[in-house]
Structure 1
């Protein structure tokens, strides 16, 4: 077989070498037929029985989770159980059977397709990719309906050909991933997914190489093909030549040795060779993520995305998470960090999100009623979340981070809402930290250009580089047709970053970076040289970034930093960045 290479989205680090094991989705081909009137209720019962069976399967998988399983898996299984109980999934297809006389499989796929189309309109990466949860739950029900055989090899059937297998699939659900626990799998390749898909999150937590968003890889790759995953480059090499295979085996061995050395840095402070201390924080999506953050040696949580509590809700007020539910989640994260600060971002969704898909019809959700705009338009929802965050602050240091700030009235209204929440809690005798710091995410160019408005009234700033780049360069970072224009080294981006750090230093308030640039190893010296002293990133990236900091001299970087900030030539910027890497590095 001729060798060929596929390109996708890298979501973890490292190299995997093994044979392909294809998982075929049950939902690709379902039967479509109309059910006679007298058989409709029997068809309804068939679907209900399948849903009940999947509920039992999820409960069994959850109960059998091994102690060393990633903590995210339990939480994801809980999410899938909630989805399965949601009327939009468990009841709406029954109505389709009764009204349209569709067979059970057709009715389920019809409803899931409709829900998926709604999720495609979501701007937020994390929430948009939760569409996969609904599809994975439906696929599990379809497997029961169609009596599909389990295609994952069990531990007693593993031989040399299935050892070190690389799972190739359209997508992989958390429940399916648990079937691999007895299998010597070494990597994941999926057609769908992005940086925040379950496959991405779990592969990062496991430290397993993965490439997602590959389009049609599962159709091009055949069972038992030899594969190389280069997850640093987002590349999968199919049927590699012997010479290429040997080269990658050498690289893989070297990476494994380096990873063992990095593990020893857990308790080492991130201090440069010339004595500059850098605070390394973790981004988390779930309270359970604090385990990985602590294991990686994070000094705290720089970004706790609170959206996971709200996702997969149908939008009715009674279905939103209660104050108590939110409080318990925030408290779990705070306690999990054992006294280290936890920065919780307020709800970053919009009117186009699943919280409410009926009231608004906006042409461009990126410019619509999202983040703080949405929260201020739903004051009771916002107040409930603020009360829960404040209550969690009684159990450890908490910071409140507000996304997409751009206007003075947004700052004032937010602070007024926090004051109201404090007043209510005090009146009720509930404990909280009255001095909880409040900060703004700088992700809209207007905020970066009007910083005095922010630094006078807020306690800290955090730069969301992903959105800042998207809004500054006027590109949709999820659109593959313009993805090549997404440039974190664009002169305008560098100028905005410099403006923020300068204003923060002058006002003597902390400023961190919690976007993708913070965990990009090639930018570590650039950011620290510019003056950033707090970087927040996925926990798995912390050790390598820390090592780069330990081998850096900030004073040696300054001539290069000045040259980069003076230049508007992309070639000069990248050449200077490369020169700075060697200049700022002190090898042991």
Structure 2
């Protein structure tokens, strides 16, 4: 039966494929792919964990006191029966062998299948056995987590395709939510689209999906409950629709849209070597946002003239609580700097907390389940200053990388001048340490992100202490409007066109120019063509975005007259409906074509 689910569109385009469910449970489950040569060992891990649990249950049975209720013995017998049933273990092996899931993921996938079968049973007694099944699976998952072989399991290679998983069909990931750490595991895998029950336009899942340039819908509420493993699914990333088991007519219509989208991408790719210059000869800098050094080649392929945001926190994830050392960080930063071939690389100091907790963040200050509002807690520069040894270690690694190219340092979530003073004290100490130890380094420009309204309002004071600023529109909107940007319940209130938000951005750009300091926008607004004219009108000449967004933004600015846009800005900022006013006014300052658009 065909049906539709609606959510929030966060990454444009159409994806068609088979659903792969990542079930959420009481036990945290790692999700990664196993290399072909590691499949047999992974099956052995599963069977070993099953045997361990069977032994535990049999021991419990034997050690039951004589006066124990007969029902307790019978319950353990039921658990043993479920554990040994081929519909659990045998089918779980299938997920490992055919899809190359790690054992934990395979087991949770099969639990999802069986749990739905129990839900559909008419007999109430049998339906209630689902709870027993969940308890058995939880025991096996805990046994797997104690298995030292898990630490040596080989993850799948980056160039794997759907064909390696037993079929030609594209795969679409469906989950209640996807942790940032898991998103990085999936980033170079086989998935052609994402669907999550929760999240907003600027939640981390949405941001990574856009960086992968694949369609995604978040905040789809019941999607992971309604969609079954291997269902045929269409993701319409333009309108936020998810179509499950579509009819042949609908399927063909969306396949046609896919082909049209591919043609448009090919056309935009021709702009790669075209200079980013407006119709009135204003040169614009188009930079890339990256998560890992391996993302740098994609930035160059898209025509980026540098990296405006290297999110260093992703070097700290998926490490079982162990933070990267100075040398490991240095090698990563140097790799990114060298890959950009002399172009500037802006490295943001580790920005964790809120939607990006680290494995080692087990204190109550940093775990979501213990914090009423993690976005307002110990995150970003606050956490760095609370961990001075870790912070100085990262700063040393960044400075050492500056010997290999142009490096700029960006600090997130600064809101107090006292924080700036502590940052400069740390930098002074780091430079002295490097000099004493004989490590080479070059001049590094220091910048701060404008994400907190307080920072925007006191910007003239901050500009005395930094070389440049970068406006992080995602958090600036969140904090200005008091909206959790990852919460789909208030997603409709997240409004980048809100007059207060636009005033803060325009004011920040103007004040940076007045002080002779560099300014860029690295939030999602920079890569959204709906805001290109507006940001040009505000005087912005440095945009930083995901590489996949660069061609469309470049096409937009090539057709724009920046001086005419600027003359219309006051009317837009004074409007009660800035979006409507901008659409009406800015269209006259944009040419539908430009003679130099498609130079090779």
Q: What is the CA distance between 1:355 and its match in structure 2? A: 3.7
Determine if contact 2:510/2:538 at 8 Å carries over to the other structure: no
Q: What is the CA distance between 1:370 and its match in structure 2? A: 1.9
The whole-number CA distance in structure 1 between the counterparts of 2:408 and 2:525 is: 22
The whole-number CA distance in structure 1 between the counterparts of 2:3 and 2:263 is: 29
Q: What is the CA distance between 1:557 and its match in structure 2? A: 1.6
Q: What residue in structure 2 maps to residue 394 of structure 1?
A: 403
Determine if contact 1:441/1:461 at 8 Å carries over to the other structure: yes
Q: What is the CA distance between 1:482 and its match in structure 2? A: 1.7
Mapping of 1:55-454 within 5 angstroms?
105-107=137-139, 109=141, 158=167, 163=169, 187-191=193-197, 204=210, 207-221=213-227, 227-238=233-244, 240=246, 248-312=254-318, 319-350=322-353, 354-358=359-363, 360=365, 362-433=371-442, 435-454=443-462
Determine if contact 2:23/2:176 at 8 Å carries over to the other structure: yes
Q: What residue in structure 2 maps to residue 513 of structure 1?
A: 521
TM-score, normalising length: structure 1 = 0.72
Q: What is the CA distance between 1:587 and its match in structure 2? A: 1.8
Determine if contact 2:199/2:487 at 8 Å carries over to the other structure: no
1:534 lines up with 2:548 in the alignment: no
Q: What is the CA distance between 1:323 and its match in structure 2? A: 0.9
Query: Over residues 43-96 of structure 1, what are the superposed CA-to-partner deviations in whole Å (9 max), with x where a residue is unaligned?
Result: xxx9xxx9xxx9xx99x989xxxxxxxxxxxxxx9xx9xxxxxxxxxxxxxxxx
Q: What is the CA distance between 1:192 and its match in structure 2? A: 6.6
TM-score, normalising length: structure 2 = 0.71
Contiguous gaps of at least 5 residues in structure 2: 28-48, 63-82, 84-88, 106-133, 154-160, 594-600
Pair member with larger Rg: 2
> More deviation in 327-336 or 553-562?
553-562
Quickly say closer, same or farther: Cα 1:416–1:556, change in 2 above 3 A: same
Query: Over residues 465-522 of structure 1, what are the superposed CA-to-partner deviations in whole Å (9 max), with x where a residue is unaligned?
Result: 1111111111111222222111111110011011101111100111011111111111
Query: Over residues 254-275 of structure 1, what are the superposed CA-to-partner deviations in whole Å (9 max), with x where a residue is unaligned?
Result: 3222111111111111111111
The whole-number CA distance in structure 2 between the counterparts of 1:586 and 1:266 is: 20
Quickly say closer, same or farther: Cα 1:254–1:200, change in 2 above 3 A: same
Q: What residue in structure 2 maps to residue 35 of structure 1?
A: 57
The whole-number CA distance in structure 1 between the counterparts of 2:562 and 2:412 is: 30
The CA RMSD over aligned residues, in Å, is 4.3
Q: Secondary structure at the match of 1:369?
A: coil
Quickly say closer, same or farther: Cα 1:378–1:26, change in 2 above 3 A: closer
Q: What residue in structure 2 maps to residue 461 of structure 1?
A: 469
Q: Secondary structure at the match of 2:11?
A: coil
Q: What is the CA distance between 1:37 and its match in structure 2? A: 4.4
